[in-house]
Structure 1
Amino acid sequence: MNSLHSLESIQSFINRERLSLVYISQPNCSVCHSLKPQVEELLEEYPGISSVHVDASEVPEAAGQFSVFSVPAVLVFSEGKELFRKARFVPLGELNQQLVKYNHFINEV
């Protein structure tokens, strides 16, 4: 999962990709560090979903722009429109169900 370091690059990524996942974390968040590799492993099943990591301490305006009040946060977008979000507690089963649904929908259109 590549990292983005500016709000402009995040916005460009979200608007450019057909289906994307943005993982927002902070360096002092132990849950963030343990969840990220699990999300990356899950995303291996979905090669059509592009993903990026955003460090909220490095790009604090991203947390404000996306109304993220707790980390880790997982946001799923399709061509700039938010489809799904989960923060603080991110059940991987629920995330997987949502990715199946959106991936299927995007590939059918």
Structure 2
Amino acid sequence: MIDIKAGETIQELVCKHSIVLFQFSSKSCTPCVAIRQRIEAWLSNHEQIEARHISIDEQPELAAQNDVLSFPTVVVYVEGQVAIRESGYFSLDEIFAKLERLIELMS
């Protein structure tokens, strides 16, 4: 999962791709590193999902625009709408299961 590029917007990505996953994190968030690694491993078998990592330390305006107040936060857009939003303590396995169902429905 690559970091969101300077000038790249969430809206732009959401308009270009059917499913987009965003992980918001902070340098001070230790669990964020492990979560990113698990997401990256899962994404390696799911090329139909576009994903970006957003560091609020580097781009706080993106966190503010998306009402991200705690970390880690995962937001998934499907067809331009927020379909999954989890913050703090959550199960990645549940998120992955939901994404699998969405992919199946969209196939």
Cα pair distance change 1:88/1:7, threshold 3 Å: farther
Match of 1:97 in 2: 97
Q: Distance in 2 between matches of 1:93 and 1:84?
A: 13
Query: Would you identify which runs of 4 or more consecutive aligned residues in structure 1 move more than 6 Å?
Result: none
Q: How many residues align?
A: 107
Q: 1:65, CA displacement in angstroms?
A: 1.3
Alignment of 1:9-88 (within 5 A): 9-88=9-88
Unaligned runs of 5+ in 1: none
Quote the offset at 1:10 in angstroms. Answer: 2.5
TM-score (norm 2): 0.89
Q: Name the aligned partner's letter for residue 93 of structure 2.
A: G
SS in structure 2 opposite 1:48?
coil
Contact conserved, 1:23 with 1:73, CA < 8 A, in 2? Answer: yes
Secondary structure, in 3 states, of the residue corresponding to 1:74? strand
Moved more, 5-14 or 78-87: 5-14
User: Contact (CA 8 Å) 1:75, 1:86: kept in 2 or not?
Assistant: yes
CA positional deviation for 1:92: 1.8
The separation in 2 between residues aligned to 1:97 and 1:7, in whole angstroms, is 32
Per the TM alignment, residue 8 of structure 1 is displaced from its structure 2 partner at its CA by 4.8
Is 1:19–1:106's contact at 8 Å kept on the other side of the alignment? no
Shift of 1:7: 6.7
How far apart, CA to CA, are the structure 2 residues paired with 1:83 and 1:59? 23
CA contact (8 A) 1:70 1:88 kept: yes
CA contact under 8 A between 1:5 and 1:58: conserved in structure 2?
Answer: no
Listed one character per residue, the Cα deviations across residues 10-61 of structure 1 (whole Å, up to 9, x for unaligned) are: 2211221111101111111101111110111112231211111111111111
Equivalent residue letter for 1:69: L
- What TM-score do you get using the length of structure 1 for normalisation? 0.88
Conserved? CA contact 1:74–1:86, under 8 Å: yes
